[in-house]
Amino acid sequence: MIVVVGRSTDVIFGQWRKYALQIGSVMGALGLIACALMLILAREMRKRGEMEDKMARLAMTDGLTGLANRRHFDVVIEKEWQRAQRISAPISLLMIDADHFKAFNDTFGHQAGDLVLCNIALSIARYAKRASDCAARYGGEEFALILPGLSLAEAIELGERIRSEVDHLECDGMSTTTISIGAACLIPSSLTTSSDLISSADTALYAAKAHGRNQIWPVAPQQDALAA
């Protein structure tokens, strides 16, 4: 008589289940670690992207006033000039300068002068409402406001509102300073460049100062043929 004794399924699969559980635990742990690493990597990439965006904004922003800086101004005016040339639309520019600012600085100090510049910047920025408008600190106490699509008359009207608002600004209960504004408007063509618009507005600004300050002055009469 031959007796055959078979092993139970628990005995057969017991060791396999043990190894399977160990391998499954290891794979699960590796999966969790991989997910955690992916989340950390995604977070770090998001932080890096935000930091790069912040650095890009800082590179294009004036540190004192929060307006666009000269570099950003140069980029925007060239872009808007090319766009205006494609559609034969006018582009206006206001060049704005604080009157007697050096004397104010010497009298009341640089901290008070910085506050005045910030207040002027806020007044200018308040009227740069459209996405295409660009308010910039051009340098020192000089500002610029790019106004694509606006005629010379519309730019003068807007500039006068800015001038009037700044004229009523006060700092610690005392009047601060006024501004002079040069206004220019051109319809871009193959014979003109954005430098011509800047030069016209700058010339008008000097004329505003020469004629008594605290006023807005348009381009000279001989430039009317080019102005919109």
Evaluate whether residue 64 is within a structural domain: no
Q: Which one has a higher pLDDT value, 203 or 56?
A: 203
| Residue 170: CB atoms within 10 Å | 9
Residue 86 pLDDT exceeds 50 = yes
| Residue 124: CB atoms within 10 Å | 26
Q: Are 134 and 98 in the same domain? A: yes
Q: Which of 52, 141, 142, 165 is catalytic?
A: 141
Pairing of strands 170-171, 142-148: unpaired
What is the count of structural domains for the chain?
2
Q: Are 159 and 208 in the same domain? A: yes
Q: What is the mean pLDDT of the chain?
A: 86
Q: Which one has a higher pLDDT value, 111 or 52?
A: 111
Half-sphere exposure in the Cβ direction for 141 (13 Å, CA): 22
Q: Which of 59, 86, 103 is the last residue of a domain?
A: 59
Residue 87 pLDDT exceeds 90 = yes
Q: Which two tokens stand for residue 21?
A: 């559980």
pLDDT tens digits along 19-43: 778 888 888 888 889 888 888 888 8
For residue 190, what is the DSSP state? T
Q: Are 53 and 129 in the same domain? A: no
Q: How far is CA 228 from the centre of its chain?
A: 27
Q: Give 180's contacts (C-beta < 8 A, 6+ positions apart).
A: 96, 97, 99, 205, 208, 209, 213, 214, 215, 216, 217
Predicted local distance difference test score (pLDDT) of residue 43? 85
Residue 203 pLDDT exceeds 90 = yes
CATH of the domain at 217: 3.30.70.270
Residue 76 pLDDT exceeds 90 = yes
Evaluate whether residue 65 is within a structural domain: no
Please confirm, yes or no, whether 157 is among the known catalytic residues.
Answer: no
pTM (whole model) above 0.85: no
Predicted local distance difference test score (pLDDT) of residue 26? 85
Percent of the chain exceeding pLDDT 90 equals 57
Q: Which two tokens stand for residue 162?
A: 């800015």
Q: Which of 59, 81, 108 is the last residue of a domain?
A: 59
pLDDT tens digits along 108-164: 888 888 999 999 999 999 999 899 999 999 999 999 999 999 999 999 999 999 999
Q: Which of 10, 31, 59 is the last residue of a domain?
A: 59
Q: Are 54 and 115 in the same domain? A: no
Evaluate whether residue 178 is within a structural domain: yes
Residue 74 pLDDT exceeds 70 = yes
